[in-house]
């Protein structure tokens, strides 16, 4: 078959000779070689030997999540002044304390930290506050983003692109999680994006897969699906340089792997009494836990949760039906169920939430906030050191750009997670334009 379509596989990151030799599966040329060895490791039935790094679950909060409403500096006078209605209240200010901020004090197994007592979770975060936070397995980093020296964009689309490829450089086109898979020599079904499209963070030369559901991941629709699969597999050749054919070939290989798992095995059922919320996000996380347990080689997963572009009507956090609070409920109940379901297996899983930017400090005239800069990350896992990490501004002031300053490069956090927990070794490949700085110590 002639390849008429120019490949759209992003250009493979430049590798040194030693890097190439370290990664045996790259011994060849062309962006498609990585895929061909996928097929050589398909024969497996029993759980593999423990991996040498965590599964990284990246939850992208699309729209620009207002960190000041999720993890609020609720006792800071300047915060109280500048956000008259949408701020998170203290217990003395509301009739029902459950509707006040949930204090992020040191205590339990959470180490003391510099900002103890300064912050409170939005009351919608109760499910996480009573579980992962109480266990000391939930970390918060405020004021994260890309340094203004590299990009200060407040465009959703440019900013998401920058976060996901890990750089503002135009010639960087592969997702940082795809480079992570490259670094850790991932194989088989290493990267899965939940949904109908492949998340940009995972896009690149190492095959990664989008998956709507486990049960639906197969070829259906024909009068004889086995014959149809045979024809499609023959047509969609690997290694032609045609991106459509490569995608088809990778897909059919992955289908073979996923369908060879007995998903009815009780080992893959929800465990530890966890109850996932009846939301799409909860359902996605339930299947991610199953995929992790199935030992199909998973190293990175992307899950999206949208609805954070809150230009108007964010609602008061003390109102249980407030919009932003309800977003927090969906996030925290999903993550808390995932945390409980995996139980001790959370020692091999790290969840990170990111969002393309934070929002303006000021409330706007319509009860919302506009695009800002400094964002907020959550990190959860058995290998995460609970607490609020990294610097915060000394006062919430409404500067000329009306935003929360970026004080921590988000890549500093992700680099620590991907190396200390994920087992990656080459941060210059993960984040080529990042200026390496000392880790914050979010990983234990």
Partner 1 sequence: MINATLAPPDTQDVADPERDARSASPLSRRAMLATTTAALATAACAPAGGGKPVPSTTAPPAPTTPPTVPPTTAAPTTTIPAGPVTPTPPGGEGVTTRIAIDKLTFGPAPGLAAAIEARGVWSWIDDQLNPVARNVPDAEWRLAGYATLTNTHRQNFDVQDSDDGWYRLIEELDHATVQRAVYSHRQLYELMCDFWSNHFNTWRQKTWMLFLKNRSNETVIRANALGKFSTMLLASARDSAMLDYLDNLPSDASSPGGVNENYARELMELHSLGIVNGVQTHTEADVRGVAKVISGWSINWDDNATRYDFRFLPWQHSLDAVTVLGGAFSRPARTYGQGYDDGVRLIDVLAHHPATARHIAWKLCKRFVSDTPSEALIASTAAVFTANDTAIAPTLRHIFSSPEFAAGHKRKVRRPFEVLVGALRATGAAIPLGWNTQTTDKVRDMLDNLGQPLYERHSPDGYPDVNAFWLSSEGFLQRWAMLGRLARNKLTDPTQPNPIVVNLPSLLPSPQPPTVAALIRWLAENLGNYTMSDADVADLCSACAFTATAAGTTVSGDANKLALAVGLVLSHPSFQQR
Q: Which residue in the set 260, 395, 397, 437 belongs to the binding site for partner 1 (CB under 8 A)?
A: 260
Contact 296, 48 (CB under 8 A): no
Q: How many residues would you count in the chain?
A: 444
Task: Give the CB-side neighbour count of residue 212, counting CA atoms within 13 A.
Answer: 6
> Is residue 148 involved in binding partner 1 (CB under 8 A)?
no
CA dist 347 → 187, 270, 382, 439 (Å): 21, 17, 4, 20
C-alpha span between 15 and 303 (Å, rounded): 29
> Is residue 230 involved in binding partner 1 (CB under 8 A)?
yes
Q: Which is nearer to partner 1, 242 or 427 (CB)?
A: 242
> Is residue 274 involved in binding partner 1 (CB under 8 A)?
no
Helix (H) or strand (E) run with residue 58 in it = strand 55-61
Helix (H) or strand (E) run with residue 79 in it = helix 77-82
SS (HEC) of 265-287 = CHHHCCCCCCCCCCCHHHHHHHH
Q: Which residue in the set 74, 180, 209, 357 belongs to the binding site for partner 1 (CB under 8 A)?
A: 209
The DSSP-derived string for 323-383 is HHHHHHHHHHHHHHHHHHHHGGGGGGEEEEEE-S--B-SS--TTSS--B-S-EEEEEEETT
Q: Which residue in the set 2, 18, 49, 92 belongs to the binding site for partner 1 (CB under 8 A)?
A: 2
Q: Which residue in the set 33, 106, 115, 219 belongs to the binding site for partner 1 (CB under 8 A)?
A: 219
Cβ 17 to partner 1, closest distance in Å?
A: 29
Q: Which residue in the set 317, 358, 368, 422 belongs to the binding site for partner 1 (CB under 8 A)?
A: 368
> Is residue 283 involved in binding partner 1 (CB under 8 A)?
yes
Closest CA to 331 of 309, 301, 353: 353
Q: Which stretch binds partner 1 (CB under 8 A): 33-41, 122-130, 152-160, 340-348?
A: 152-160
Q: Which residue in the set 51, 78, 210, 347 belongs to the binding site for partner 1 (CB under 8 A)?
A: 210
Q: Which stretch binds partner 1 (CB under 8 A): 32-40, 333-341, 361-369, 388-396?
A: 361-369
- Binding residues among 6-35 for partner 1 as defined by CB under 8 A: 6, 8, 10
Q: Residue 164 forms beta bridges with which residues?
A: none
Q: Which is nearer to partner 1, 138 or 406 (CB)?
A: 406
> Is residue 267 involved in binding partner 1 (CB under 8 A)?
no
Q: Which is nearer to partner 1, 17 or 43 (CB)?
A: 43
Q: Which is nearer to partner 1, 239 or 439 (CB)?
A: 239
Q: Which is nearer to partner 1, 4 or 18 (CB)?
A: 4
Give the DSSP letter of residue 407. -
- Binding residues among 307-326 for partner 1 as defined by CB under 8 A: 309, 311-312
**How big is the CA angle at 64 (ends 423 and 54), to the nearest 5 degrees?**
15
> Is residue 247 involved in binding partner 1 (CB under 8 A)?
yes
Q: Which residue in the set 29, 49, 149, 223 belongs to the binding site for partner 1 (CB under 8 A)?
A: 223
> Is residue 327 involved in binding partner 1 (CB under 8 A)?
no
> Is residue 231 involved in binding partner 1 (CB under 8 A)?
yes
Token pair in block for residue 360: 């303006």
> Is residue 198 involved in binding partner 1 (CB under 8 A)?
yes
> Is residue 365 involved in binding partner 1 (CB under 8 A)?
yes
> Is residue 398 involved in binding partner 1 (CB under 8 A)?
no
CA dist 228 → 78, 133, 223, 252, 255 (Å): 65, 50, 8, 11, 13
> Is residue 270 involved in binding partner 1 (CB under 8 A)?
no
Closest CA to 411 of 331, 351, 354, 349: 354
Contact 358, 404 (CB under 8 A): yes
Cβ 228 to partner 1, closest distance in Å?
A: 6
Cβ 209 to partner 1, closest distance in Å?
A: 4
Cβ 250 to partner 1, closest distance in Å?
A: 7
Q: Which stretch binds partner 1 (CB under 8 A): 101-109, 210-218, 335-343, 377-385?
A: 210-218
Q: Which stretch binds partner 1 (CB under 8 A): 2-10, 67-75, 124-132, 346-354?
A: 2-10
Q: Which is nearer to partner 1, 33 or 219 (CB)?
A: 219
- Three-state SS at 281: helix
Cβ 21 to partner 1, closest distance in Å?
A: 29
143: left (phi over 0), alpha (psi -120 to 50) or beta: left
> Is residue 41 involved in binding partner 1 (CB under 8 A)?
no
Q: How far does Cα 394 stand from its chain's mean position?
A: 29
Give the DSSP letter of residue 261. S
Question: What is the helix, strand, coil percentage profile of the chain, to 5?
Answer: 35, 15, 50
- Binding residues among 52-81 for partner 1 as defined by CB under 8 A: 62-63
Q: Which is nearer to partner 1, 106 or 244 (CB)?
A: 244
Helix (H) or strand (E) run with residue 71 in it = strand 71-72
């Amino acid at each position: 078959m002639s390849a008429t379509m120019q490949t759209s596989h992003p250009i493979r990151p430049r590798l040194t000779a030693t890097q190439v030799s370290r990664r045996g599966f790259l011994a060849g040329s062309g962006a498609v070689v990585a895929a061909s060895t996928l097929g050589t490791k398909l024969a497996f039935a029993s759980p593999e030997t423990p991996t040498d790094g965590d599964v990284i679950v990246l939850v992208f909060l699309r729209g620009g999540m207002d960190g000041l409403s999720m993890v609020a500096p609720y006792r800071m006078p300047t915060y109280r002044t500048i956000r008259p209605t949408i701020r998170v209240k203290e217990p003395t200010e509301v009739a029902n304390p459950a509707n006040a901020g949930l204090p992020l004090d040191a205590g339990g197994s959470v180490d003391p930290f510099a900002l103890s007592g300064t912050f409170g979770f939005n009351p919608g975060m109760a499910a996480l506050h009573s579980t992962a936070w109480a266990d000391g397995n939930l970390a918060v980093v405020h004021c994260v983003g890309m340094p203004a020296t590299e990009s200060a964009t407040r465009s959703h689309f440019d900013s998401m692109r920058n976060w996901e490829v890990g750089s503002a450089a135009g010639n960087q086109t592969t997702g940082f999680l795809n480079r992570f898979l490259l670094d850790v020599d991932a194989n088989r079904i290493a990267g899965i994006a939940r949904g109908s499209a492949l998340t940009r963070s995972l896009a690149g030369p190492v095959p990664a897969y989008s998956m709507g559901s486990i049960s639906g991941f197969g070829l259906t629709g024909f009068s004889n699906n086995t014959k149809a699969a045979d024809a499609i597999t023959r047509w969609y050749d690997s290694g032609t340089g045609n991106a459509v054919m490569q995608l088809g070939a990778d897909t059919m290989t992955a289908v073979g792997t996923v369908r060879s798992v007995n998903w009815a095995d009780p080992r893959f059922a929800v465990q530890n009494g966890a109850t996932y919320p009846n939301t799409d996000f909860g359902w996605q996380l339930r299947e991610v836990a199953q995929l992790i347990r199935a030992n199909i080689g998973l190293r990175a997963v992307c899950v999206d949760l949208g609805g954070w572009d809150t230009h108007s009507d964010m609602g008061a956090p003390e109102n249980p039906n407030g919009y932003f609070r309800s977003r927090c409920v969906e996030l925290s109940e999903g993550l808390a169920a995932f945390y409980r379901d995996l139980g001790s297996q959370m020692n091999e899983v790290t969840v990170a939430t990111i969002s393309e930017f934070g929002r303006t400090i000021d409330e706007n005239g319509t009860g919302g906030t506009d695009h800002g800069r400094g964002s907020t990350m959550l990190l959860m896992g058995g290998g995460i050191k609970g607490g609020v990490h990294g610097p915060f501004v000394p006062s919430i002031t409404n500067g000329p750009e009306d935003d929360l300053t970026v004080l921590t490069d988000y890549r500093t956090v992700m680099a620590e997670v991907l190396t200390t927990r994920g087992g990656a070794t080459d941060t210059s490949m993960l984040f080529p334009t990042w200026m390496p700085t000392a880790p914050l110590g979010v990983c234990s």
